[in-house]
Chain A
Amino acid sequence: MNERKVTVARAGIRKSLALTDAKAIIEDRSYEVNLRRITPWSVSFLLNGTVFHVSCIRVTRLPSGEADVEVLINGTYVKYRISDHRAELLKSMLKTLPGSTGDFEIRAPMPGLVSRIECAPGNSVEPGTGILILEAMKMENEIRASSRGTVKEIRVRQGQNVEKNEVLAVLETT
């Protein structure tokens, strides 16, 4: 079924959170979530029968793919850093990047379907420039360049299924 797994962190404490249909599992605690109303700015739900109203002060997206979400819950301020599966992968990929110049391969962080290619050989890219869209786990994930350079090769076609770690593109970094 539809499931979304994220890690939430506040004041140095990280918790795993899994949202499925009408359930939320946080660490070893399980809740019935009865969603009443949701807009981009506020959400009301019942949690095991208790009413909660959460409004969004601000979402700040970080280059790592994580997001800082600041909310008001019943008049109290709470800030969480949210990191999902893709952000974790992106972070681990960023860590293994070579800092020097030369050819650099962009690999699939997970198995999936190449749903769109956003650049062509010869294009110059900046950190964050989209290379292609990889559809996986019913989510579209943009694979982005992590350093400045030129696209040397695109190794996949639109519609192609790829395995984890398969080379998608090669960048010549400068």
Chain B
Amino acid sequence: MERRIQKVLVANRGEIAVRILRTCRDMGIRTVAVFADPDRSALHVELADEAYALDGVTAAESYLDQEKILAIAGKASVDAIHPGYGYLSENHAFAAAVEKAGIRFIGPPSKAIALLGEKTAARKLARSLGIPMVQGSADAFIKAEDALACAEGLRFPLLLKAAAGGGGKGMRIVHDRKEFVSAFKMASSEAQKAFGDPRVYVERYLANPHHVEIQILADTSGRVVYFPERDCSLQRRHQKLVEESPSPIVDSDLRKRMGEVAASLAGAAGYFNAGTVEFLVDDERKFYFLEVNTRLQVEHPVTEAVTGFDLLKEQILVAEGHPLSFRQEDVPLRGHALECRIYAEDPANDFFPSTGKLNLFQPPSGPGVRVDTGAREGDMVDVHFDPLLAKVITHGSDRREALQRMSRALQEFTVAGVHTTIPFCKYILESSIFVEARHTTQLINKGVLQDFLNQSLDTVILDAAAIGSALLESEQRVEGTLVGRETRAAWRSRRKEQYR
């Protein structure tokens, strides 16, 4: 049954809210934004037709508050809600409450979210379909002793993972028996805090895997298509930093096999709308099922770049009840795309969030470059929300061209006032190990960070940096203090002359 969506509430913030609002506008759909107190003047609020306050500062008081969001949806008479990623996007109770209120949830059905969001249930379903997966426990445990008994048959190292997990929380690597119980307890308490569910399951730990995932899209009649894979092997703290499509280690045969496996899993779960099936791929190019993400992912633009689809638009069409307008063989793979996540984080400080004011914020553009961002110059970056400032996506006829464009784009991207992952991404992307695609999920470690901080640079670059640093140090000092006035005056008078 097809029914046009007239008005969408976007239950999110930042770059993904902006991205959703834009496609809604493209399709002539009215939009409603919601915002926490610190986001009152954020870009996503300005790009919407209507905006309502969530009256709260923290995530829990705002974008995670189901009741507030449902109340606004009712007041604004929307006929659909898009959850974005994070926040309520994989909360099956929220999806069910939206469905119950007679509003369409732009995403999978709540039953599929519940089934696939529980990691051990998803693994059981995958095993029943004969999908290869890393050896591990069928069930999740509350007691460390029970988990250890189950782990007897497995070879160390092992990986402990939260049953309700994601984002690296409630995850621990265990190298031998002695560490097992204490690691289990830490993982379990972390899982309880992050997801309200202390259960942890056990997997064999693959030492140097590639992370490869398949985007799928299904309609309400159960037809499923898969898209070319994304390789997200470059990670820090179990979180992705750089993604690309296609994967440099996947050939067309492996692509087809992984795609068909992903589609079969979605079909068996009664899935519709967009989703992602994640796999690990080892050195021998064997793949293992990892988990399903029942949402549109951060890295979806690389798939859009190589296929030409607007995945957001396809999500809305599915939610309106349309059958997929294309078949598997209509999904192209054109060239190569990369995405760099620009976080307000300090690589020198173990990628901890860096807060402050965006004194400068000038994203790049030009051929083959797309920037998705919800930030603007002058915005405050604070501790309450995800530090993802922007995503830079480049597309080229091949991997080399996409990489060249990314280097250029990152060089153009100017941010002042907070630390960002811009220079680190540029450094890694230009390293021979990434250029030759020899990296795995374990690439970013302390050694790489030290090399980055002490990289050898041309003398002229270092001298120019020294001159720039001395000028900026002096320029900032005069803003509020006593010293340096003469120097400033001298440079300023010269500046005037040089402007002419």
A and B: real partners?
yes
A residues engaging B (CB < 8 A)?
2, 4, 6, 8, 10-11, 15, 17, 19, 21-22, 24, 26, 29, 31, 33-43, 45, 47, 50, 52-59, 67, 69-80, 82, 86, 133, 138-142
Question: Does B473 contact A59, Cβ atoms closer than 8 Å?
Answer: yes
Contacts of B418 in A (CB 8 A): 57-58
Query: A67 vs B484: C-alpha distance in the bound complex, in angstroms?
Result: 14
Within 8 A of A (CB), among B353-369: 356, 359-360
Interface residues of B (CB under 8 A from A): 347-348, 356, 359-360, 407, 410-420, 422-424, 426-427, 452-455, 457, 459-477, 479, 481-487, 490-491, 494-495, 498
State which of A17, A45, A140 has its C-beta within 8 Å of the C-beta of B485.
A140
> A72 with B422: in contact, given A22-B494, A140-B485 (CB under 8 Å)?
yes
- CB of B330, distance to nearest CB on chain A (Å): 38
What are 19 A-B pairs with beta-carbon distances under 8 A? Answer: A6-B470, A17-B470, A19-B467, A19-B471, A38-B471, A38-B491, A42-B414, A45-B468, A45-B471, A53-B414, A58-B417, A69-B469, A77-B347, A77-B424, A78-B469, A133-B482, A138-B487, A139-B483, A142-B483
Q: Is the CB of A47 within 8 A of B470?
A: no
A8 to B462, CA, bound (A): 10
Q: How far is the CA of A80 from the CA of B459 in the complex (A)?
A: 14
Q: A4-B474, A54-B469, A75-B413 are in contact. Are A35 and B491 (CB under 8 A)?
A: yes
Which of B417, B453, B461 interacts with A57 by CB under 8 Å? B417
Task: Give the secondary structure class of B's interface.
Answer: helix
Question: Given known contacts A57-B417, A72-B414, is B472 in contact with A86 (CB within 8 Å)?
Answer: no
Contact A35 B494 (CB under 8 A): yes
Query: Is there an interface contact between A54 and B465, defined as CB atoms closer than 8 Å?
Result: yes
Which residues of chain A come closer than 8 Å to B464, judged between CB atoms? 45, 47, 50, 52, 54, 73
Whether the Cβ atoms of B495 and A58 lie closer than 8 Å is: no
Is the Cβ of A47 less than 8 Å from the Cβ of B463?
yes
Please name 17 further chain A to chain B contacts, defined as beta carbons within 8 Å, in addition to the given A22-B494, A41-B417, A55-B416, sorted by A numbering.
Answer: A4-B470, A6-B470, A17-B467, A33-B467, A42-B414, A45-B471, A50-B464, A54-B472, A56-B359, A73-B465, A75-B411, A76-B427, A76-B457, A77-B453, A79-B453, A138-B486, A139-B485
**A41-B416, A86-B483 known; A59 and B472 CB under 8 Å?**
yes
CA of A96 to CA of B360, assembled, Å: 42
Smallest Cβ distance from B66 to chain A, in angstroms?
Answer: 38
Say yes or no: A42-B416 contact (C-beta < 8 A), given A59-B476, A71-B472, A74-B461. Answer: yes
Say whether, besides A59-B472, A74-B461, A138-B486, A38 and B495 are in contact (CB < 8 Å). yes
Evaluate contact between B490 and A38: CB separation under 8 angstroms. Answer: no
Q: How far is the CB of B207 from chain A (nearest CB, A)?
A: 30
Q: Are A75 and B410 in contact (CB under 8 A)?
A: yes
Most buried by B among A2, A36, A77: A77
Name the one of A53, A78, A139 contacting B486, with C-beta atoms under 8 angstroms: A139
| C-alpha spacing A87/B275, complex, angstroms | 58
Task: Evaluate contact between A43 and B461: CB separation under 8 angstroms.
Answer: no
Which residues of the partner chain A approach B452 to less than 8 Å between Cβ atoms? 77
The answer to whether residues A69 and B472 also contact, given A41-B359, A47-B463, A74-B461 and a CB cut-off of 8 A, is: yes
Pairs of residues from A and B, 9 with the lowest C-beta to C-beta distance, nearest first: A54-B468, A75-B411, A77-B423, A2-B490, A138-B486, A41-B416, A69-B469, A78-B465, A52-B464
What is the CB-to-nearest-CB distance from B370 to chain A, in angstroms, rounded to a whole number?
A: 18
Cα distance, A36 to B360, chains bound together (Å): 17
Give chain A residues whose Cβ lies under 8 Å from the Cβ of B465. Answer: 54, 71, 73, 78, 80
Residues of B within 8 A of A21 (CB): 490, 494
Given the interface contacts A10-B462, A57-B417, A80-B466, does A4 sit within 8 Å of B356 by beta carbon?
no
Tell me, in angstroms, the Cα distance from A70 to B143 when the chains sit together: 48
Choose among A15, A34, A40, A73 the residue that contacts B461 (Cβ–Cβ < 8 A): A73
A78 in contact with B360 (CB, 8 Å): no
Contacts of B459 in A (CB 8 A): 29
Please give me the residue from chain B that is nearest to A2 by CB atom: B490
Please state if B460 and A50 are interface contacts (CB–CB under 8 Å): yes
Instruction: From the candidates A34, A41, A74, A139, name the one contacting B360 in the complex (CB within 8 A).
Output: A41
Q: Which residues of B contact A11 (CB under 8 A)?
A: 454
- From B461, B471, B482, give the contact of A76 (CB < 8 A): B461
What residues of B have a CB within 8 angstroms of the CB of A26 in the complex?
A: 463, 466-467
CA distance A54 to B461 in the complex (A): 10
A140 to B494, CA, bound (A): 21
Distance (whole angstroms) from the CB of A13 to the closest CB of chain B: 9
The answer to whether B472 and A56 touch across the interface, beta carbons within 8 angstroms, is: yes
Asked whether A40 and B483 contact (CB < 8 A) given A55-B414, A75-B426, A76-B461, the answer is no
Cα A8 to Cα B136 in complex, Å, equals 54
Cβ B472 vs Cβ A140 within 8 A: no
Please, which residues of chain A bring their CB within 8 A of the CB of B484? 139
Say whether B475 contacts A38, CB under 8 Å.
yes
Candidate in A37, A39, A41, A141 with the most chain B CB atoms within 10 angstroms: A41
